[in-house]
Chain A
Amino acid sequence: MDSARADILAARDHLQQRGWIARRSEAFHHLPPPALDQWLGAQEPQSCEAPALDGSGWTLHPIHNQFGNHASSGIHARWLDALAPAERSELFADLPLPGSDEAAPFAWAHRALCRLGLRLRISATPGKEREPVWLELRHKPRAQAEAPLLVLDVEPGVHCVLIETHERQADACHRQVAQNLYAHVRLGAGAQLQHLRIVSPAGTDSVAHHVHATLAAGAHYAQALVATSSGYHLQRNHVTLEGRGAQARSAALLLAGADKIDLQNYTRIQAAHCASSVQALALAQGRAHVVANAHTYIAAGADEADVHQRLTGVPLAGNPRLILRPHLEILHDNVQAAHGATWGALPEDALFYARQRGLDEASARALIIEGMARALLARCLGNEDNGLLAQWLQGGWLAHAIGAQLQGDAEVQHG
């Protein structure tokens, strides 16, 4: 038996011995994930006349950056077959083994099912060391059950701007997908990564994305997530600030519609003079069920850590369940930390202001909601005219997604 096969069997064996995520699990008890079989692809294929999935997995698309040129020469990409022993070994090299935390069964299931991964190394473009490296990474599912892997290394001092998208082509396939994705993001000393993640699964999909980011000294990581709901949708971030002066910002816009999203953010601050900010805005309606969880751990010795958590839930219509859980664990005295959770309706004064200027109620609501979403993302990614956020917003995806959500909202109200 080759080593790849042995590794897969070992992972399966581990799952069989230890079992799946416990119902009592603190992190998962509000929204328990579907059973293990689904994540291993062990279920009988559904009778479905739709064409087979034709997604291509990870694809890389260098994009025009703010200087108007392609900056792809600093991108080193390797697609690796996890069933070939040598490539699997390279793919998983220097990645941590699944631990024993509450989400570990997901990690073991990933090891058992992973077939393909992408390793990306971002270095400075020769002659353009001061310019950021821009790229777009798209993922489209290749199988009904899959476990994609991404390993992204940003070299010391390099500035990278990344758009990562996970979208289903509505007309391509209606098969239900179970996707258990792991991404390992590692920033070298002084590196910067602006990371915009768009995750928009089909309504029946089960999605679990796990992003593990580690930051060396002086590194800056800004992750903005825009996620729509599905039958099961987990976004779990682990961010570890290992080096002095590292900074992490995350903002999550959860367009829950009338379905489910579980956002779990875990931040560990292990060095002095680090800063972390976690924000989430959840918009939900009908019988949606949204959990947004922020847990920040400040280790002993993390002098002058500066930590903020702000979780906001806005029920748009119906009776959605919005569970917001900010949590701080502080093991050092000399730190600043603030956290809060707010549930509330859209701001009435701003809504009336827009209506007094001639906007009908639906347009006023859409304007205010899109504004709140833009403001959240801008606090994370900045608001420069030629910046990442401005470029993405030009495409109109956000306005379209909010429009779709509000259309659902109107159906909830009338139906």
Chain B
Amino acid sequence: MTQPTPLLQVRDLRVNVGERTVLHSVSLDVQPGQLVVLMGANGSGKSTLGMALAGHPHYSVQGGQALLGGQDLLQLPAHERARAGLFLSFQSPPDVPGVKNNFFIRTALNAMHEARGQEPLDAFDFLASAKKAAKDLGLPEAMLARPVNEGFSGGERKRNELLQLSLLKPRLALLDEIDSGMDVDGVRAVVALVQKLRSEGTAFIVISHYLQMIEQLEPDAVLRLDQGCIAEAGDLELARSIARTGFARARAQAAEA
């Protein structure tokens, strides 16, 4: 039986940040609705993968290929990658002073609608759905009227990323340490939202060190990134093993094997 065409297909991706090569050769496939967990020691290149796929100008792709739904991501400017269905949840979401959260998200949604030739959203309809999504995520409604991320705690910033994820409904979401700064209710909200969106076909790459959340997410695959390469691929057992022994031991064990 032939494998279905992956939603995301990355081949031999090599990325420089400044003069330094951070990703040497990364290849991975993600099917629609699949969830891949990416683990790795600090500096192994996990965030670089997300930034490079999203088209951050400081992350320079030196070689390789990345296709999303058959479309060559690397040829697209950053906003067109987003419109093609790639969502990146930032590890440290920045402030956008003076821009109200609900306006920011509605502008983003309308940009997506415009790209698809759809009518812009009615402001009242949008606000109603934004309020409901915020409530589901445990984000106070007042956050919608505040400037994006300004004065938000670490956990609130992450919930705000989830709010955008739930409203934008991308084809592929890359969540970079979404659990950091989150309380237990926040982590539950992550799991619930990811499950819901997966059932609707959204694929996920989740970067995390938090085993309890990883277990709840029921990943299809776990990858260990080491020095800019995929060093190991496995299932949930790989995540448990890393949690037990640490990255240094995992690296040594992989070398022995």
Q: Which residues of A contact B (CB under 8 A)?
A: 347-350, 352-361, 363-364, 367-368, 370-376, 378
**Do B77 and A357 touch (CB < 8 A)?**
no
Q: Mark B94-116, 1 if CB is under 8 A from A, else 0.
A: 11111100001101100110010
How far, in angstroms, from A359 to B79 measured CA to CA in the complex? 6
Residues on A with C-beta less than 8 A from B99 are 367-368, 370-371, 374
User: A347, A350, A367, A371: which has the most chain B beta carbons within 10 Å?
Assistant: A371
Q: Does B56 make an interface contact (CB < 8 A)?
A: yes
Which residue of A is nearest B112, CB measured? A358
Q: Give the number of residue pairs across the A-B interface with Cβ within 8 Å.
A: 80
Other-chain contact of B82, A355, A367, A378 (Cβ < 8 Å): A355
How far, in angstroms, from A375 to B108 measured CA to CA in the complex? 20
How far, in angstroms, from A328 to B81 measured CA to CA in the complex? 49
**Do A356 and B54 touch (CB < 8 A)?**
yes
**Do B111 and A371 touch (CB < 8 A)?**
no
Which residue of B is nearest A363, CB measured? B111
Smallest CB-CB A-B distances: 6 pairs: A375-B98, A371-B98, A374-B98, A371-B99, A357-B108, A358-B111
A253 CB to nearest chain B CB (Å): 11
Other-chain contact of A357, B82, B95, B147 (Cβ < 8 Å): B82
Q: Mark B155-189, 1 if CB is under 8 A from A, else 0.
A: 00000000010001000000000000000000000
Residues 68 to 124 of chain B near chain A (Cβ within 8 Å): 77-79, 81-83, 87-88, 90, 93-99, 104-105, 107-108, 111-112, 115
Which residue of A is nearest B50, CB measured? A356
**Do B79 and A361 touch (CB < 8 A)?**
yes
**Do B96 and A371 touch (CB < 8 A)?**
yes
Instruction: Give the interface residue-count category, chain B.
Output: 20 to 34
User: B56, B88, B95, B96: which has the most chain A beta carbons within 10 Å?
Assistant: B96
A344 CB to nearest chain B CB (Å): 14
**Do A352 and B147 touch (CB < 8 A)?**
no
Residues on A with C-beta less than 8 A from B108 are 354, 357-359
Residues on A with C-beta less than 8 A from B168 are 357-358
User: B78, B95, B105, B168: which has the most chain A beta carbons within 10 Å?
Assistant: B78
How far, in angstroms, from A373 to B98 measured CA to CA in the complex? 7
How far, in angstroms, from A352 to B79 measured CA to CA in the complex? 9
**Do A370 and B79 touch (CB < 8 A)?**
no
Q: Does B57 make an interface contact (CB < 8 A)?
A: yes
**26 intermolecular pairs with C-beta atoms under 8 Å apart:** A349-B94, A350-B94, A352-B56, A352-B78, A353-B94, A353-B96, A354-B108, A355-B55, A355-B77, A355-B78, A355-B79, A355-B82, A357-B164, A358-B108, A358-B168, A359-B107, A359-B108, A363-B111, A367-B96, A367-B107, A370-B98, A371-B96, A374-B98, A374-B99, A375-B98, A378-B98
A377 CB to nearest chain B CB (Å): 8
Q: Given contacts A352-B57, A353-B94, A370-B98, are A361 and B164 in contact (CB under 8 A)? A: no
Residues on A with C-beta less than 8 A from B164 are 357
Residues on B with C-beta less than 8 A from A373 are 98
User: A348, A360, A361, A370: which has the most chain B beta carbons within 10 Å?
Assistant: A360
Q: Mark B130-166, 1 if CB is under 8 A from A, else 0.
A: 0000000000000000010000000000000000100
How far, in angstroms, from A359 to B93 measured CA to CA in the complex? 16
Residues on B with C-beta less than 8 A from A361 are 77, 79
How far, in angstroms, from A363 to B115 measured CA to CA in the complex? 13
How far, in angstroms, from A370 to B96 measured CA to CA in the complex? 10
Which residue of A is nearest B56, CB measured? A352
Which residue of A is nearest B96, CB measured? A350
How far, in angstroms, from A221 to B107 measured CA to CA in the complex? 35
Residues on A with C-beta less than 8 A from B97 are 371-372, 375
**Do B88 and A356 touch (CB < 8 A)?**
yes
How far, in angstroms, from A352 to B57 measured CA to CA in the complex? 8
How far, in angstroms, from A372 to B95 measured CA to CA in the complex? 11
**Do B98 and A347 touch (CB < 8 A)?**
no
**Do B54 and A375 touch (CB < 8 A)?**
no
**Do A356 and B82 touch (CB < 8 A)?**
yes
A380 CB to nearest chain B CB (Å): 12
How far, in angstroms, from A367 to B107 measured CA to CA in the complex? 9
Given contacts A359-B108, A360-B79, A373-B98, 17 further A-B contacts (CB under 8 A): A349-B94, A352-B78, A353-B90, A353-B96, A355-B77, A356-B54, A356-B78, A356-B88, A357-B82, A357-B105, A364-B79, A370-B99, A371-B99, A371-B147, A375-B97, A376-B98, A378-B98
A33 CB to nearest chain B CB (Å): 33
Which residue of B is nearest A373, CB measured? B98
B150 CB to nearest chain A CB (Å): 8
Residues on B with C-beta less than 8 A from A360 are 77, 79, 111
How far, in angstroms, from A350 to B97 measured CA to CA in the complex? 9
How far, in angstroms, from A308 to B244 measured CA to CA in the complex? 53
How far, in angstroms, from A17 to B32 measured CA to CA in the complex? 84
How far, in angstroms, from A373 to B115 measured CA to CA in the complex? 28
User: B88, B90, B107: which has the most chain A beta carbons within 10 Å?
Assistant: B107
Residues on B with C-beta less than 8 A from A353 are 90, 93-94, 96
Residues on A with C-beta less than 8 A from B78 are 352, 355-356
Q: Given contacts A352-B56, A367-B104, are A357 and B96 in contact (CB under 8 A)? A: no
User: A350, A364, A376: which has the most chain B beta carbons within 10 Å?
Assistant: A350
B209 CB to nearest chain A CB (Å): 23
User: B82, B98, B105: which has the most chain A beta carbons within 10 Å?
Assistant: B98
Which residue of B is nearest A368, CB measured? B96
How far, in angstroms, from A364 to B108 measured CA to CA in the complex? 10
Residues on B with C-beta less than 8 A from A364 are 79
Which residue of B is nearest A377, CB measured? B98
Residues on A with C-beta less than 8 A from B96 are 350, 353-354, 367-368, 371
Residues on A with C-beta less than 8 A from B90 are 353, 356
User: A358, A359, A361, A368: which has the most chain B beta carbons within 10 Å?
Assistant: A358
**Do A357 and B104 touch (CB < 8 A)?**
yes
Residues on B with C-beta less than 8 A from A350 are 94-96
A267 CB to nearest chain B CB (Å): 25
**Do A363 and B54 touch (CB < 8 A)?**
no
A125 CB to nearest chain B CB (Å): 31
How far, in angstroms, from A347 to B99 measured CA to CA in the complex? 14
